[in-house]
Amino acid sequence: MSRIAVCAPHFTRVPELRAEMLARHPEADFNDEMQDLQGDALIAFLRGHERAVSGTERIDDAVLAAVPELKLIAKIGVGLDAVDLDAMVRRGVLLGWTPGVNKRSVAELTLSYIITALRKVPTVNTEMRGGIWRRQVGNTLSGKTVGIVGCGHIGKELVPFLKPFGCRLLVHDIRSYPEFYAANGIEPVDLDTLLAEADVVTLHLPFTPASKHMIGAHALGLMKPTAVLVNLARGGIVDEAALKTALEDGAIAAAAFDVFAHEPWPDRDLIALPNFWSSTHIGASTHEAITDMARAVIDNLDFSRGRIPDPSWIPDWVPKAAMA
C-alpha cells in the first residue's frame, strides 16, 4: 500500500475524522505534534509517502524536487495559493481538490463582519471593557449598496444572505455569470464603478499574481469615506500599508479582515487601529466546515479522483511558464 502523509492537523484535533481517515486509508501517518510544517521539516515529514494531505503548508518546487515519490496532493480547504500548481504540472503530481466545500461557513462569517463593521460592535465592546459607556452611532445594512468582488462559490453563497436586507448588489468578476446575475438582480460592473458606488466592499477571490494588491491606494481612494471593506478571501489582495493610511486618514470608514499577507501576526499598528477589526483566519473554522473539508480530502486521496492542475477547472488560476 502507498503511504499517506497527513500534514494538516485537522485529523489530529478531531478523533472522529482521524478514525474515518484510517478506515479508508489505514496507511496514513499523522502530524500528531501539530507542527507548522514548512521547508525542511515538511520535506522530512513527506519523505517515503506517495500521497499527502496539505492545508497551509507551502508545497513549492523545492519540496516536490526533494520528495519525487510524492504523486498526489489532496488539498484541505479551497485556497490553492500555498501549492505551486505549475511545479505540479511539470512533475506530473496530481491534485485532489473540492472547490466550494466551506462556502457556507465563510459566507455566514462575511455577513456577520459586514454588520459588525457597519454597527461598530467591537469598538463598543472595547469601550465597555474599559469603563466607557457610549452609544456609538453606526449604519444599517438595509438598503445599502454591497459590492462583491469575486462571484465564485462564496460570492454566490453570500447573495441570498443579503437579499432580506434589500441591498443593491454590484459584482465584479473576471468571469461572467449572466444567468445568476439576472436571477438575483445583480449588476455586473467594472471594479472602479463598484468601488465608487458601494457602501460595503467584500472580497471573495483567490490570491494570484493578477489579484496581488488589487485593492491598493488607487482603489481605496475611489471608495466612499463612509464605506467599509471586508476581506475574508486571502491576504495580499489588499495592500495593507495603503489600507492603514486610508483608515488613519478617514478615506474609508472601517475595515474588517480575517486574512493577512503575513500570518500569523500582520502589522501590529494596523490591527490596533480603532476602525479596523480582525480575526485569525477563522473563515472555515466551524465544526461543520472542518468535517466537510476533511471528508472531501478523504475522498480526494483516491488516485482516480486526482487530476493534473488545469486552469479550465481551477477558477482564476493565472498559469505561468509551465502552461505556456
Peptide bond into 178 cis (omega under 30): no
Q: How far is CA 231 from CA 115, 200, 306, in A?
A: 13, 11, 30
204 classed as catalytic: no
Contact 282, 77 (CB under 8 A): no
Cell numbers given for 57: 503548508
Cα 71 to Cα 175: distance, rounded to the nearest angstrom = 31
- Determine which one of 281, 287, 295, 307 is catalytic: 281
Q: Is 263 a catalytic residue?
A: yes
Q: Of 59, 69, 9, 65, whose CA–CA distance to 33 is shortest?
A: 9
3-state secondary structure of 308: coil
The one catalytic residue in 248, 263, 288, 307 is: 263
> Taking every pair of C-alpha atoms in the chain, what is the biggest distance, in angstroms?
64
Query: CA 37 to CA 28: how far, in whole Å?
Result: 17
Listed residue (98, 153, 102) closest to 301, CA to CA: 98
Residue matched to cell numbers 495580499 = 236
Element (H, E) at 196: helix 191-197
Residues 6+ apart with CB under 8 A from 23: none
- Catalytic choice (57, 157, 234, 240): 234
Report whether 209 contacts 319 (CB < 8 A): no
List the grid coordinates of 259.
Answer: 486574512
DSSP state of 83: B
Catalytic machinery residues: 234, 263, 281
